[in-house]
Structure formats: structure tokens, C-alpha cells
Amino acid sequence: GRCGYRMTTYVSGTNNEKVFQFNQFFYDAYRTWGVYFAHAYRDLRAYAGDNWSNREKTKLEQQNRMILELNKIRRVVNLYSGYERENRTATVCAPVEGSDVQTADQMSNLLYYVYDKANADYIISEAFEHSLKTGLSIIGLYMDYSRDKINGDIKMYWKPFNALMIDPYFTKRDLSDCDQCSTRDLLSKEQIKGLLPWIDPAQIDMLPTGIRDNKYQYLGIYRQYNSTYIAKNLCTYDQYWKRITVEQKYLVDLVTGVSEEWSGDKDAEKELMKRLSELPHDRLRLIKSHKRTVELNIIVSGQLMYTGPDPTGLDNFPFIPVLLYHEPLIDTFELKIQGIVRSVRDAQRQYNRRHSQIIDIMESIINTGWITKNGAVLDPNMLMQAGQGRQVVVNEGYDVNADVREISPPNIPPGYLQYQDIIDKNIMEIPGASDELLGLSSVGDSQVSGKLAEVRASNGLKGNRGIFDNLEQSKKYLGKLVIECIQKNYSPGKIQRILGEEPSEQFLSGQFEEYDCAIKQAVKTPTQREAYYYQLLQLLSLGAPIPWDKVLEVAPIQGSTKLHEILAQQQEQQQQAAQIEQEQMQMQ
């Protein structure tokens, strides 16, 4: 069957060259990535509310002091994540000058459909929020054949930094200069049987379970006490992509330079050559060349189960990274990729430390202690009393002023509490956030108009506009992958069923996306029908002669059927009145 695995090579074994290449790639890359993984893991724990080291916790416990964790980092991350969720954009196709508008509209409608069915908005937001914490995540595509057994359905996923291993020498956000990548999942044997239907189930049942290597050491399950026991019913499911070069035939137009891949068999090629020889011109040629593509290797519990093209049919990696701060020119990897948490981690630690010291000082003021001679007080427990109505009885023969004296409490240094406010403000301002981002003013005038608050929030974001621009760029690259995946997998019949109309001739051409349309971000609406509705309203406001019945057809309101009936009755009454008037004029 088709099932996405065309031109498939089925293999199995442990001492395979592909497994050796995967192991060599992983350990070589980890030597470079290791310092980043350590810092990203600390960033993730800092966001979750763990900023004290074990040594500091032990010291505080020995001093009978509170271990305070006043998490201010979560507020900053949620601020940017919430803004992105409130201002989501839709990925659409816009026709380039002189190109087919109908085809671009059809592609946009298909993108709406795929993104909605794949729950893309939520997945993109989750990946972006994770990149705010650690600096790196990916958004990927896969084919789901559970409902459509022939064409499949395009679905999306996201993975965190600790489930990835990317070629450490990549510099471009679309991974065009990346040679190798891998991801890991921990799956049950039943899940693996569903993903690898061509493998004998008995062979999968014989696979060893548990984690038996030292790869992906920062996955959450690895940090637990006994990961082998916890994952005793799970298998490691590794996907290893590698760029390769293969032979490919192309049908080339010598005048325009446009080329199309040709993958026909010998009989089809013979028929093609016959037709080319009958053409009056010699501008079309069938040439043999090479192309860069991606080879996927699936390794389960250390055994190679599949090697061949990616099931999506893409010639690129089927995922796009979401990078927050990426400095490819820096050689140290703990600085090359960062999230927002990295810049405020130290400020959060200082805030916790100062707050713990302030509470310790305030508690010492309440009961600083006493200096007494032995036997001067009738009951030493009296000295431990707190609150009002304390009573201390001094034995006879002792001087109250000389033999029993309360320790003077230390004075809180001037500015100590003000410094704590400064640290709190730094946690917001260091990553580029501020009160203006919340619509407030730094001078405290909260009684302002909604428009002024909106302008202040917009101005507050300009300092970090780059991270949202990077996200839009990643979404643009993802849109290109989705379009290519649609053209490689969806049949014209499925496309017609989705669109409700015949796809245009240019739709299935691999050249349209390259030359005739541009992937861009548009205002996000729940459906393409609402987007069309708002565009009609904009045209109406400019004076376009659009009938109201056409506007009501796409209006996202309840009771539109009743409105159609009322509008139809009005039009009928107007026609009758016009007909009566015309008859009267004829009689006159």
C-alpha cells in the first residue's frame, strides 16, 4: 500500500552501519551541545520555581531559615506567551504580480483547513512558550493514516530541547545548512506496532525495553532515581535524518529554466521521449542530474527498523526550529542559543536571597534574645515569651538592669527594602518587559484611555519585537513545508473534496509556490469564511458595489437564514412595486 512509505527499504539488525552513523553523530554533537543542555535544563527549572542550589538549601536548613521561592520568572514568560496567543496570525498565500489569484486562494483555503485539523495554533504557541524558557524547540509534520488510508492527513507536533539533537554547526533558521538531526520518543510496543505496520509484531515484542544508552540525558525521565525501572515497559524510538544526494531526472524548459522532477518508469519515459521528438521546437529536454534530499532512519531500542525517504515525501527535514535568541557567530553554546529565562535567572536568585534575609531580620527583631546571669531569672522559659503581656520574674539578690538585659535588635540598613524593589523591577526590565507592556505608565497614571494603554503596550514590545519576527519567519518556513507536503500527498480528489471545487491546473505544480505566490502572515480569524467576511466589509467601507445578500452569505452570525428570508421578501416587494409602477407608466 501507499501509506506514506514509498520507495521503502525494510531492514532490521543491531550491527548496522546506519546505527553506527547515528551513534557517532549523536556523541560528536553532544560534546558541543552539552553545555547548552545543562544551562537550558537550569533555565527550565528556574521557570518552574527551583532557583536554590542543594548546598544553599542545606545551609538554610541548618540555620533554621525559610527556603523561599518567590517565582517572578513565570510572570515574564507568561506575558510574552500570552501576547503571542492573543495576537495569533494565519499563514496564507498571496499571489505575486501577474500570477494566478485563484490558485493562491485555493492554497490559502487548504492551509486554513490543514492548520485547523492539526490544531496548529496551540502547537505553535506551546513551542514558542518553550523557546521563551530554553531558547529552542521544533514544530514538525507527520502523516496520519488512521482516517484516510490512501492520502493520509497532515498533522503537527512540537518537541522540547531535551528530545532533540541537531547538527551543532547550523546557522540558518530554516536548517538549509544542517546535515543531520535526530529526535527521541519513549513509546510502548503497541504504539510502535501502529507506527511500523510492515514489521512483524512478534519481532517488536522481542525488543528490549527500558533506557539502555546514555543519549538524551536531559529528558525528564532520565533525571529520576531509576530511569531503567520507570521506563521498563517503554522502548526508545529514535528518528535520525541525514541529508543525502540521489540521482534524479528532470524535464527542463530551456527557455524559461523551469524544471520539473520526472519519476516515471521506462515505458512512461519512452512515451515522453516520443512526444518530445514530435514537438516543433527543441526547448523541452529530459536530463539526468542530482538532488539533495533527506533519508530517515528509525531505530527502536538500538535496532534499525526502517531506512528510506521521510513518510511526508519532503526533501527537507519535516520540522522547523523555533529559536528565540540565536547568535550563530558565538562559539560557546551556552551563549549561542538562549531564552528569556537566562537573562533573569540571576536576578530571581538575588530576589529570593534578599527576601529570605529580610524575613530573617524581621523575625530577629521580634525576639532577639536575652543576656542573663545564671540563676537570675525564676524560669528561663519566661525569656522566650512573645507578644503583649510578657512577664519576667527576677530572683532576689540580682539587679534587673545589670544581671538581666535584652539584646538590642539590629537596625535594618537604610535602602534595604528599596533595593528589593529594584531587583523586582529588574526582573521585568532585563528581558525587555516593563509596566508599559501591561498598558501602565512608569509614572503611575493608571486612569488613561484604552487607546493610550494599547499604544503603550505596543511601544513596550518594540524592544523585543525581534523574537516575534523570528516566530513569524519560522511560521513562514513551516507554511512552505505544509504546501509541499500537500502537493506530495493529497490527490486531486481529496483537494476537490476539501475546497468544494476543482483545483486549478497550477495547483499541483511544484513551481507555483516557488515563483507565483508568497507565504505571509495575515489577521487570524476562526475560519477562512470569517476572513472573507471582514475583507468584504473593508471593501464596502470603501464604497464597493457589493450586494448585501452576498455579505450575509458569509456573515458569522446566528440566525442568518432568517435574515436571508427577510432580505428575499424585501427584494420581492421592491420588484413588485417596480412592476406596478412600470405598468402605471405604460397605461399613462
pLDDT digits (tens, 9 = 90+) for 164-182: 999 999 999 999 999 999 9
CB 212, CB 302: distance < 8 Å: yes
> pLDDT digit string (tens) for 84-129?
888 888 888 877 755 567 888 888 889 989 999 999 999 999 999 9
**What's phi and psi for 234, nearest 5 deg?**
-115, 155
Of the CA atoms within 13 Å of residue 59, those in its CB half-sphere come to: 7
The DSSP element (H or E) to which 297 belongs, if any, is: strand 284-300
pTM: 0.79
Q: CB burial class (10 A; 0-12, 13-18, 19+) of residue 278?
A: exposed
The Cβ of residue 431 has, within 10 Å, a number of other Cβ atoms equal to 24
Of these ranges, 29-43, 101-115, 462-476, the one predicted with the greatest mean pLDDT is: 29-43
For residue 352, the Cα-to-chain-centroid distance in whole angstroms is 30
* Mean pLDDT computed over every residue of the chain: 81
* DSSP 8-class letter at 516: I
Torsion of CA 241, 243, 248, 251, to 10 degrees: 100
Residue 228: φ, ψ to 5°: -65, -40
Plot region of 36 (φ>0 → left; ψ -120 to 50 → alpha; else → beta): alpha
Instruction: Single out the residue of 342, 346, 348, 336 nearest to residue 34, CA to CA.
Output: 336
For 197-237, the pLDDT digits (tens) are 888 899 999 998 888 788 888 887 666 655 556 677 889 99
Greater confidence (456 vs 152) lies with 152
User: Is 173 or 505 the better-scoring residue by pLDDT?
Assistant: 173
